[in-house]
Amino acid sequence: MNTFTEENYLKAIYHLSLQSSSVSTNQIAASLNTKAASVTDMLKKLAEKGLINYTKYQGVTLTAAGEKIAVSIIRKHRLWEYFLVEKLNFKWDEVHDVAEELEHISSKELVDRLDDFMGHPKYDPHGDPIPDSNGLFKTHELKPVATLVINENGIISGVRDHSTAFLQYLERMQLTIGKKIKVTEINDYDHSVILQVEDKKVHISREVANNLLIAI
Amino acid sequence: MNTFTEENYLKAIYHLSLQSSSVSTNQIAASLNTKAASVTDMLKKLAEKGLINYTKYQGVTLTAAGEKIAVSIIRKHRLWEYFLVEKLNFKWDEVHDVAEELEHISSKELVDRLDDFMGHPKYDPHGDPIPDSNGLFKTHELKPVATLVINENGIISGVRDHSTAFLQYLERMQLTIGKKIKVTEINDYDHSVILQVEDKKVHISREVANNLLIAI
DNA sequence: TAAAAAATTTAGATTAGTCTAAATATTTTA
DNA sequence: TAAAATATTTAGACTAATCTAAATTTTTTA
Ligand SMILES: [Mn+2]
Ligand SMILES: [Mn+2]
Ligand SMILES: [Mn+2]
Ligand SMILES: [Mn+2]
């Protein structure tokens, strides 16, 4: 099929495509911690295989075939993360690196049975949607807590930053997926926000409010 | 750590070491479907890393460090096979290839938690012992059904041939791990054997009797 | 709109793993 | 115990993925 490395490139291009329609060499290099020259080489190979549309100096988009592969990798990544948290009692901040390896296990039978075993979960531990066996999933509409006004409420449904540091911080503050929150105060000076979470008040910075997402 | 390929070499050397004390270049090449020249190159690298004892033309043995890695790969292989059969409802003849990939997932935390989740199984679906988290396991004593005499009985506890064809044949004959069998007849001419298995008689060839193992 | 800056590609190396063919060592056998 | 046969290693080449440095293209800016 495709190498481990090719799969990682396709996944990176897919994620970057959600931001901008066309993806640049440097964006890919940054996201994969590699050099632009290496990216150019790989882009030629992926174009050769019909997985991306590539014109020199013009950036790339995924073809339908490339997107299908990218989505299947993402399905595996998120299902494994769900498994690790729900069945093996990992914390939500501990699963990403292991899932980066598990997502490359090739058996489709395996991932489909894993999906059955867990009852077809719709979202991974970070609130990201899990594509079904046909690659279909809702791109759910989320917005940052920072966009709420006083007295607005919502349900925590995702994060924009997946770093261990951020996830651990949220865990400590009890700002986890599914929690109902209400904005009680917004600081004019630094745009920090005070939330009502269950029976407690939690004070978060503008940065945190930007990276914490609620369902619309 | 070590590459996927290095791990496969160590595992192959480990398995071959169970037969003969020292393992030859050609034996390794055959077991990994590669060429002797490639094996020589890898042996130099593994010796350099202190994982094998290698003297030109004299074959190799694992060092303690090499054996530790080999056993940890085998632990992962067998635990994943158990998981696939017991939790995901794979058949015992369908799990080996997937486990060949899963055994290279590096997280020790993952495999230890998987072990916990499944209640620390002692044997994999083919009857092979699963090393514990410290690499310890009983090398259980098994002997081929072919060594039994008339009226001797035993419990099916392992296989010498792990091929899909053989496992499917055994499944069809209901000769699966844990079944109690008794030798009722041995054919002088072709050494085929008739077994009593539960309420049925099963006729197996000498070859099958040699590859089907019972606890001593 | 021409020069400067930034982005991207090309050229040329490097490393891991593999191969074939040739050379060398070991083992078998007569 | 010296050929012959077999096993193993070496030599030299190839592919995938990576890198640095140089060349080229695109974009920005003055
Ligand atoms: Mn993740
Ligand atoms: Mn996730
Ligand atoms: Mn196996
Ligand atoms: Mn097994």
Walk me through the domains of chain A, giving residue ranges and CATH numbers: 4-62 (1.10.10.10), 75-139 (1.10.10.10), 142-215 (2.30.30.90)
Ligand lying closest to the C-alpha of residue B100? 3
Asked whether the predicted pLDDT for residue A136 surpasses 80, the reply is: yes
**Could you check: is the Cβ of residue B48 within 7 Å of any atom of nucleic acid strand D?**
no
- Listed in sequence order, the residues at least 6 apart from A59 whose beta carbon sits closer than 8 Å to its beta carbon are A22, A23, A24, A25
**Distance (Å, rounded) from C-alpha A113 to C-alpha B101?**
17
pLDDT at A119: 98
Name the average pLDDT for chain B: 96
The minimal CB distance from A113 to the residues B88, B105, B106 is found for B88
What are the structure tokens assigned to A187, written together? 């600081």
Summarize pLDDT for A164-175 with one digit per residue, the tens: 999 999 999 999
Give B18: exposed, middle or buried? Use CB within 10 Å, 0-12, 13-18, 19+. exposed
User: Does residue B1 have a pLDDT over 80?
Assistant: no
Closest residue to C8 measured CA to C1′: A57
Query: End-to-end distance of chain A based on CA atoms, in angstroms?
Result: 39
> Pick from A94, A101, A109: which is nearest to B106 by CB?
A101
Q: Taking residues A110-117, what's their average pLDDT?
A: 98
Which residue of B lies nearest to A95 if distances are taken between CA atoms? B110
For B32-86, write each residue's pLDDT tens digit: 999 999 999 999 999 999 999 999 999 999 999 999 999 999 999 999 999 999 9
Instruction: State how far the alpha carbon of A204 is from the alpha carbons of A142, A165, B11, B214, in Å.
Output: 19, 15, 51, 65
* pLDDT score of B51: 97
Q: Check if residue A38 sits with its Cβ under 7 angstroms from strand D.
A: yes
Whose CA is closest to B176, among B215, B127, B209? B127
Residue B56 Cβ < 7 Å to strand D: yes
Are B215 and B142 in contact by the 8 Å Cβ rule? The answer is: yes
Distance (Å) from CA A129 to ligand 1 centroid:
12
| pLDDT confidence of residue A139 | 84
Chain B residue numbers touching A109 (CB-CB < 8 A) = 90, 94, 98
- A98/B107 CB distance under 8 A: yes
- Ordered alpha helix ranges (H), chain A: 4-17, 25-31, 36-48, 64-86, 96-102, 108-117, 164-172, 206-211
pTM: 0.95
**Per-residue confidence band for A88, with pLDDT thresholds at 50, 70 and 90:** very high
Q: Mutating which of B84, B89, B106, B107 best tests the A interface, going by the most A Cβ atoms within 10 A? A: B107
Q: Binning pLDDT at 50, 70 and 90, where does residue A16 land? A: very high
Rounded-to-integer distance, Cα A202 and Cα A183, Å: 10
Mean pLDDT of chain A: 96
- Give the chain A residue whose CA is nearest to the CA of B89: A113
Provide the shortest C-alpha distance from residue B123 to chain A (in Å): 20
By Cβ distance, the residue of B101, B102, B113 closest to A88 is: B113
Contact residues on chain A for B90, CB-CB shorter than 8 A: 109, 113
By the CB < 8 Å criterion, does A91 face chain B?
no
